[in-house]
Chains A and B, each alone.
Chain A
Amino acid sequence: MEEKIDYIKLASNKPKGKRPYFHDDPAVERVLNITMAIAGELAVMRERMDSIERLLEKKGTVTREEIETFVPETKEQEEQRQTWHAEYIGRVLRIVQQEQEELENPDKSIEEIANDINEM
């Protein structure tokens, strides 16, 4: 058995079973998946920057080892970091939330509102 494995390729393997698609056009889903992967990497970068900034603030200098091992040191820092994730996801998935709100409270179109206003 090979000891050296191509972990990058293997990590992205497909599981058994035909992949379910939910959008009518698979291209939409493809772009969505790529977009979400980028969204994830931006979150990772933001968390890394957060670590660097906090360390720089704390010490004035920073080493690679310090960055690799940095974890939130207070409850407040933990909450700030997790809050950032919640805000970030809320921002990126804005349209989904707005569509849900529209479903809960069906609204008139702006054209209809314009007609209403015209009578006001």
Chain B
Amino acid sequence: MSARNLPPVYNKIAQHAVFPEMNHDERARYNFLASLNKHLAHVSMGNKVAFENRVAPQFEKEHGREIASTEELKEAISKDAHYQVWSALRRSTMEMRQQAGRSLVLRQAAALRDKVRALNEGKDSLVLDDTVAVPPYLLACDNHIMPGSYHTELIEDDVTPAANYDTGLFVTTAGLLGRYSDGGGKAIVSWVKKTYPDFSPKRILDIGCGMGHNVLPIAKAFPDAEVIGIDTGAPMLRYAHARAMDLGYSNVKFMQMDAAKTSFENESFDWVQSTMFFHETGGKSIYNIMNEVYRVLKPGGLTLHIEQPQYTEDMSLFEKFIRDWDALNNSEPYWSKMHDIAPLDLMKSSGFREEDFMQIGAKAENDLDDGSQKADEPEDHGRSPIWNVFGAFKN
């Protein structure tokens, strides 16, 4: 019908037994916010124009030379009117998304908890451990400006952090992750099946699994495998488990563990996966976690990590700066540091061999794409479901 690029309507999101009840206006609020996110992704293109036509020439006039660092670029562009209003609108949109999500899940916090309890009761596939500490990198900051982050419990056995996350991913990505927000997990399954058709893992570990949205496609693709998702956030795990139960999964287990120090035996997994996890860790922890991945992986086992695209030598200062915008202003602060670590170096430091290292690009598989999502969508830096996947077989 039109050349416009419209996000799918919110009611297309998949329902399950523990998905929060949403009334008419709550859905409409998310429709507005998804559209606003999409609009601002287009407006962000103006930042490049402002930089090239106004900010850079002005700097050169004043200093007699080009901008030499992202710090200088930040100081210069921060005075630009277009950058200011775009940034203020983008920050405002993310705060509104959190407010909208929290207002709808917190009003039904006890009811959600009770539904989750009923599905989890008596099941040994959910293993919580209150001696597992929330890692300091998660306590330092509320990732994605979610007040209370993944771990805060406002009522006993709270699940609202996960319920809020579940409702809102659709909004932040304007529906690009699919009905179950599982486009990342589906993409990795397709790549593994296509690339290694004989790979038949018996035991699979997903680290930093959150509400389990990306581990479920893996469990579905390998129904005979024992699949375990670990996370430190009890609210996420409770919700993940109840969600998986309701969706009919019987081969997936959720356990409360810190990925840097799990209780699994040496060489006990055929596949260790993470999806958009490392950029929410910390500068020392990332190495500890990779050491742990190496330890629990069987010889011949596979590990893969879906992450934001790395920064490269030939990337312009502007590109680096704008890619850091979400890291700093949507509170994913470790991403602003992690992009300077070469994935190969990270993996080699834990014992993986250079000749076993692999790196590929991946794009979310989106079952909501009905053709109204245009191909010439501008990349929404830090948001677009276009990723870097790195990993290795352990030999």
Q: Which residues of A contact B (CB under 8 A)?
A: 1-3, 5, 7-8, 10-17, 19-24, 28-29, 32-33, 36-37, 40, 43-44, 47-48, 51, 67-72, 75-76, 78-79, 81-83, 85-86, 89-90, 93, 96-97, 99-100, 103-104, 106
Task: Knowing that A13-B148, A104-B53 touch, tell me 11 more A-B residue pairs with CB under 8 angstroms.
Answer: A7-B106, A17-B141, A17-B142, A20-B87, A22-B83, A43-B28, A85-B31, A86-B35, A97-B43, A100-B49, A100-B82
Number of A-B residue pairs having CB atoms within 8 Å of each other in the complex: 176
Complex partner residue of A16 from B1, B82, B95, B142, CB under 8 angstroms: B142
A contact residues around B86 at 8 Å (CB):
96
Number of interface residues of B (CB under 8 A): 70
Q: How far is the CB of B161 from chain A (nearest CB, A)?
A: 12
Most B CB contacts (10 A, CB to CB) among A17, A19, A83 go to A17
* Residue contact A15 to B35, C-beta cutoff 8 Å: no
Chain B residues engaging chain A, CB cutoff 8 angstroms: 1-2, 4, 6-9, 11, 23-25, 27-29, 31-33, 35-36, 38-39, 43, 45-46, 49-50, 53-54, 78-79, 81-89, 91-93, 95-96, 98-99, 102-103, 106-107, 109-110, 140-142, 145-149, 153-156, 328-329, 331, 333, 370, 372
Instruction: Assess the B153–A1 pair: CB atoms within 8 A.
Output: yes
Given contacts A3-B110, A79-B1, is CB(A37)–CB(B28) below 8 Å? no
20 contacts between A and B (CB under 8 A): A5-B154, A7-B107, A10-B154, A16-B147, A21-B88, A22-B83, A22-B91, A40-B32, A40-B36, A43-B28, A44-B29, A47-B28, A71-B11, A71-B27, A85-B31, A86-B38, A90-B39, A96-B43, A96-B46, A103-B54
Beyond A48-B25, A72-B9, is A89–B36 a contact (Cβ under 8 Å)? yes
Take A10-B102, A15-B146 as given contacts and tell me if A33 and B43 are in contact as well, using a CB distance cutoff of 8 Å.
no
Contact A79 B6 (CB under 8 A): yes
Contact residues of B: prevailing secondary structure: helix
A71–B9 touching, CB < 8 Å: yes
Nearest to B164 among chain A residues (CB) is: A11
Q: Given A7-B109, A16-B142: A1 and B155 within 8 A (CB)?
A: yes
Taking CB atoms, residues of chain A closer than 8 Å to B98 are: 15
What residues of A have a CB within 8 angstroms of the CB of B43 in the complex?
A: 93, 96-97, 100
Partner of A79, one of B87, B146, B372: B372
A103 with B46: CB separation less than 8 A: yes
Q: Are B28 and A12 in contact (CB under 8 A)?
A: no
Q: Is the CB of A93 within 8 A of B39?
A: yes
Whether B31 and A81, one on each chain, are in contact in the complex, defined by CB atoms closer than 8 angstroms, is yes
Residue of A nearest to B156 (CB): A1
* Smallest beta-carbon distance A100→chain B, Å: 4
Tell which of A10, A68, A78, A99 touches B81, judged by Cβ atoms closer than 8 Å. A99
Cβ of B139 to closest chain A Cβ, rounded Å: 9
CB distance from A114 to the nearest CB of B (A): 25
B9 touching A15, Cβ below 8 Å: no
Contact A86 B4 (CB under 8 A): yes
Say whether B96 contacts A37, CB under 8 Å: yes
User: Are B50 and A47 closer than 8 Å at their CB atoms?
Assistant: no
Cβ–Cβ < 8 Å partners of A11 in chain B:
99, 102-103, 106
Compute how far the CA of A16 lies from the CA of B150 in the bound complex, rounded to whole angstroms: 13
